[in-house]
Amino acid sequence: MATTDPLDLLDPDERAGLRPAEARFVGPMLATLTADHFSDPEWIYERKLDGVRAVVVRDGDGTTIWSRSEKSMTDTYPEIAEALGRGPALVADGEIVAFDGPQTSFSKLQARLGLHDPDRARATGVAVFVYLFDVMVVSGCDVTALPLRTRKRLLRAAVDFADPVRFSTHRNTDGEAYLAETCARGWEGLIAKRADSAYRPGKRSDDWLKFKCVREQEFVVGGWTDPTGSRQGFGALLVGVYDGDGLHYAGKVGTGFDGRVLHRLRERFDGLAADRSPFAGTVREKGTHWLRPELVAQIGFTEWTRDGRLRHPRYLGLRDDKEPREVVREEPPA
């Protein structure tokens, strides 16, 4: 059971450094991809979940759920908002997921994408959970300057964790062994976090690092190709990433769709049709149709080729929690 005031857990010096803060949206802290996997007693390691980032805001009027781009998702996941409805005021960071067997499945969440009617959202039959892993505001105070371990302690005290609300557990020190276990289980990867780090709202930081087992990221959809053979709807998506001011073509994605997804996406294309290619440079594909670059898709792939194309890409789903202009090629720093 959550304590009456989680801040009672802090020592006088910690409390003296807190600043007043309202319970309202805080831009989430972002992790940096790295290929340098390590073990360190000054770091903790959390499972990287394949879902939708969520900022939970609870105040005297109830609980609201925001996407990382500050779009309301409260009615998309009403059971989560209801489960978090009681307790001290807070702003917490987490990930909303659905499961396919033991694995979190971004594709399964697609049934809820764009739904803003609580009854329709529940009627999908897709069970959802939120894993909370950090807290930025507690009981009217900004706690972002406190160390991560302390913030996680406050989070545990501020929330009654029972399904569909879950606490994101972590392991200490042994990042390499945990990553090997994670990859063997078919998980997406880990987030390594410096244990004494502050929370940096809206910032990408080297204090949080992504260890990935598989490669995937967001891409902007700029067009589609005609279907061939018995295929219905469309043949492939034409996708790209921003680099400077231009949208640079990254290749076509023709796998990962079933008949229902092909039909739903094709319907959306009609309202986004464009006369000209949104891509910088020439795209040499047959049977192309251009779109305004407003849709963001999650794409899995094996690697980037030398000419900046995706090898073996597969469609995982649409995202509505990231603006197209934020989509850039995600690579570990050299």
Sign for the pseudo-dihedral over CA of 38, 40, 42, 45: positive
At which of 167, 185, 212 does a domain end?
212
Query: Does residue 48 have an active-site annotation?
Result: yes
Residue 331 has pLDDT above 60, yes or no: yes
Distance between CA 192 and CA 46 in Å, rounded? 6
Task: Write out pLDDT tens, residues 267-288.
Answer: 999 999 999 999 998 999 999 9
Place of tokens 């990042």: 175
**CA distance readout (Å), 135 to 147, 148, 200, 265:** 11, 9, 11, 36
SS3 281: coil
For residues 305-332, one letter each, b for 16 or more C-beta atoms within 10 angstroms of the residue's C-beta and e for the rest, the string is eeeeebeebbbbbbbebbebeebeeeee
> What would the pLDDT profile of 226-256 be if each residue is shown by its tens digit?
998 888 999 999 999 999 879 999 999 999 9
Q: Which of 48, 193, 212, 252 is catalytic?
A: 48
Q: Are residues 135 and 61 in the same domain?
A: yes
Residue 119 lies in a domain: yes
Coil vs helix vs strand at 135: strand
Q: Per-residue pLDDT tens for 50-75?
A: 999 999 999 988 999 999 999 999 99
Host domain of residue 261: 215-326
Are 155 and 277 found together in one domain? Answer: no
Omega of the bond leading into 164 within 30 degrees of 0 (cis):
yes
Residue 14 has pLDDT above 70, yes or no: yes
Could you tell me the pTM of the whole model? 0.84
pLDDT of residue 334: 57
User: What's the CATH code of the domain at 184?
Assistant: 3.30.470.30
Q: How far apart are CA 69 and CA 182, in angstroms?
A: 29
Query: What's the confidence (pLDDT) of residue 3?
Result: 46
Phi, psi (degrees; rounded to nearest 5) at 153: -65, -40
Same domain, 255 and 207: no
| H-helix segments, 84-213 | 106-109, 118-123, 148-158, 175-184
Which of 170, 188, 212 is the last residue in one of the domains? 212
Q: Compute the average pLDDT of residues 212-220.
A: 92
Q: Are residues 36 and 181 in the same domain?
A: yes
